[in-house]
Structure formats: C-alpha cells, structure tokens
C-alpha cells in the first residue's frame, strides 16, 4: 500500500495563498509544517484540475471526493487522516482570513489509522544494541562510537523523541542533577530524568570526542555532531541503529521500549505520560496494551496449563 502522494512542484495563482498558509502554521514541528503545506498544495492542484480557481470554489462535497480519491488510489489510512487534518487547518485559516464565506472542512472526517501496537525490544536485543563495539584503532571511528553510545543511552534512558534528541544543546543537559530539558511538540518544554549509566555515556562524549570536534565549523551549542560537524539529524540517528542493530530497528522503538519497561516495572501511567511529554493520557494508554501482550506471552510460555 502506498504511503502517500508523490511529491511534486505546483504553481498556484494568488487566491490559494499556500505560501502564506505555510508561514502561518505555528506550534508544529518543521516536518509537520512541510506535510501540511504539501497536503494543501496537492489538494489545490487536484481541485484546480476540476475547475476550482481558489478556496472559495471548494465545498464540503469536493473535500469528501478528494479523500475518496485518495482511498481509490490506495493511499494509507494514516495518509488520508493526516490529509484531512491538513485541509481542516488550511480551510480554517482561509475562513479566518476571509478567503471563504464558510469553512467547508468543518467536521470533515477521515478513516482512523490502523491501530498497531508499537514494537518493543526484548532484553537480549536491547543489550546487543546498547553494547559498545570492540575498541577501534581508528580515531574517527572511536569518536563515532562514543557518540553513538551517548545517543542510544539517551533515547532508551529518557524516552525522548528522535527530533527532541537532535535539537538538544549542551546547556540542556545537567549531568550533576541527571536532568535533561527537552523542547517537544508545540515548543513545549519538559524535564526528563536520566540514569547514571546514561549520564556517564553523555559525559564521556562531552569530555572527549565532542570537545575535539567543536572546532568552530559547526553549531557551537549542539550536543551531538555528525561526521561533517553539523548538528546530528534524524537520518544520522537511523544510521546509528542500522550499524548497531542486527535487525531493522526504528529509533522510535527505543521510546516504546522505555515506556513499556517502566509500566512493566510498576510505574504509574500518569508519570509515564509526563516523561513522554504526551498531551493526552489516551496516547500513553497504548503502552498498557503492550504490557498486557507481554504478560500474556510470558504466561502462555511458562504456565504448565496455558
């Protein structure tokens, strides 16, 4: 099944004001802003082929037809759901700007994405991932290994998102208190705790490889650098997992594993919600289902009458 429409370049007359809409979207990550803008562009291109010259020519039926069009093209439910959210945001903005008389996207619904339990790493798999590779005589490889150790320990030790980790500055980390200040979705800040092993891995990176890599050519404040002395990015983190994990593993799996292991250990759900930075407790509750699945697997595999 296709993940989403293929990206393209579109040129629109002024009435659609896609660029102005893009500049107005606030409180979202840069990736979300790009996705919302692309979704609005693709809809405008589709509607334009049907004769619409601007948002004022769009009604609720047109929007529903577009979502149905995506479904017939076998786009995933997640893509269609996100597109509906993008169009609600765009036409809500158009209504506030007076570009439409009434918001045609009001109460526009879309199929809910398929609910999938997040993948959780087993203890053996986690140990293999976190275990540092044999010492390298190559200085660049040794520096990279110390950075990778700190990145993986932070992802699993604090449960922060990959984008949050990549956005960390040196001043965001208080190793003495073992606290990291994270800027999450909607530019909301929260403090997360890290354990001593995690703090030691970050300290080793800061005192050793990073201090030599901070040569003034890259961003001085960034906590992590890539090999080009730029701030570490999500793709760089994915490459770290590709080097360390024997099977394909997404970096977000470490966040899932962090939350599940806390709940398995008896942590309160609201504490986990706070640590993960979830605005809604309902988002955190998916991990209770994961824990139940794990308990069932253990019971089925160990009880003599199971």
Query: Dihedral (C-alpha) 261, 267, 269, 271: value to the nearest 10 degrees?
Result: -110
State mean pLDDT over 205-234: 86
Identify which has the larger pLDDT, 212 or 175. Answer: 175
Mean pLDDT of the chain: 85
Tell me, what DSSP letter sits at residue 192?
E
Name the catalytic one among 161, 231, 244, 256: 161
CATH tag for 123-301 (out of 1.10.150.120, 3.40.50.300, 3.40.1210.10, 1.10.443.10): 1.10.443.10
| Strand runs labelled E in the chain | 173-174, 179-183, 189-193
Of the pLDDT bands very low, low, confident and very high (cuts 50, 70, 90), residue 300 is confident
To the query of whether residue 255 is one of the catalytic residues in this protein, the response is yes
Active site residue 161: yes
Higher pLDDT, 136 or 277: 277
Share of the chain above pLDDT 70, in %: 85
Q: Where in the chain is the domain with CATH 1.10.150.130?
A: 14-97
The answer to whether residue 252 is catalytic is: yes
Q: Is 116 a catalytic residue?
A: no
Which member of 65, 185, 238, 239 is catalytic? 185
The pTM for the full model equals 0.65
The DSSP secondary-structure symbol of 180 reads E
* Other C-beta atoms lying within 10 Å of the C-beta of residue 194: 23
What is the 3 state secondary structure string of 6-25?
Answer: CCCCCCCCHHHCHHHHHHHC
Give the confidence band of 3 by pLDDT, cuts at 50, 70, 90. very low
What's the pLDDT score for residue 5?
44
Fold of 14-97: DNA polymerase; domain 1 (1.10.150)
**Which of 144, 231, 255, 261 is labelled catalytic?**
255
From the number of C-beta atoms within 10 Å of its C-beta (0-12, 13-18, 19+), residue 243 rates as exposed
> Annotated catalytic, 243?
no
**Segments of the chain assigned to CATH 1.10.443.10:** 123-301
Res. 7: pLDDT tops 70: no
Segment 87-107, tens digit of pLDDT: 999 999 999 999 999 999 998
Catalytic residue among 36, 66, 225, 287: 287
What does the buried/exposed string (b/e) look like for 254-288 if buried means 16 or more CB atoms within 10 Å of the residue's CB? bbbbbbbbbbeeeeeeeebbebbbbeeeeebebbe
Per annotation, catalytic residue among 65, 239, 252, 294: 252
Asked if 185 is an active-site residue, the reply is: yes
Mean pLDDT of 26-47: 88
What is the predicted pLDDT for the residue at 52? 93
What value does the mean pLDDT take over residues 193-207? 94
Tell whether the model's pLDDT for residue 130 goes beyond 90: no
pLDDT of residue 109: 84
CA distances from 41 to 13, 92, 134, 140, 202 (A): 12, 15, 49, 43, 42
Q: Examine the pLDDT at 239 and tell me if it is beyond 70.
A: yes
């Amino acid at each position: 099944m296709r993940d989403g429409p293929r990206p393209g370049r579109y040129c629109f007359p002024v009435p659609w004001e896609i660029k102005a809409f893009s500049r107005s979207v606030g409180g979202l990550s840069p990736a979300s802003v790009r996705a919302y803008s692309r979704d609005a562009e693709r809809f405008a291109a589709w509607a334009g082929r049907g004769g619409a010259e601007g948002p004022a020519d769009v009604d609720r039926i047109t929007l529903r037809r577009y979502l149905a069009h995506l479904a017939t093209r076998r786009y995933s439910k997640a893509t269609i759901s996100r597109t509906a959210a993008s169009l609600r945001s765009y036409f809500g903005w158009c209504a506030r700007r007076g570009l439409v008389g009434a918001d045609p996207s009001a109460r526009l619904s879309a199929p809910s994405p398929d609910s999938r339990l997040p993948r959780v790493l087993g203890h053996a798999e986690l140990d293999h991932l976190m275990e540092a590779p044999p010492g390298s005589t190559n200085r660049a490889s040794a520096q990279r290994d110390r950075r990778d150790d700190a990145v993986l320990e932070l992802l699993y030790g604090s449960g922060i998102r990959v984008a949050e980790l990549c956005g960390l500055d040196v001043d965001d980390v208080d190793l003495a208190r073992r606290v990291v200040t994270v800027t999450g979705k909607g530019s909301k800040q929260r403090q997360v705790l890290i354990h001593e092993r995690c703090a030691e891995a970050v300290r080793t990176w800061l005192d050793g490889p990073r201090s030599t890599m901070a040569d003034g050519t890259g961003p001085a404040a960034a906590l992590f650098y890539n090999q080009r002395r730029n701030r570490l990015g999500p793709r760089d983190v994915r490459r770290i997992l590709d080097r360390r994990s024997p099977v394909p593993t997404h970096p977000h799996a470490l966040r899932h594993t962090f939350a599940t292991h806390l709940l398995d250990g008896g942590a309160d759900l609201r504490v986990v919600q706070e640590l993960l930075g979830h605005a809604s407790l309902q988002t955190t509750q998916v991990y209770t289902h994961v824990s139940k699945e794990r308990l069932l697997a253990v019971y089925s595999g160990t009880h003599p009458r199971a």
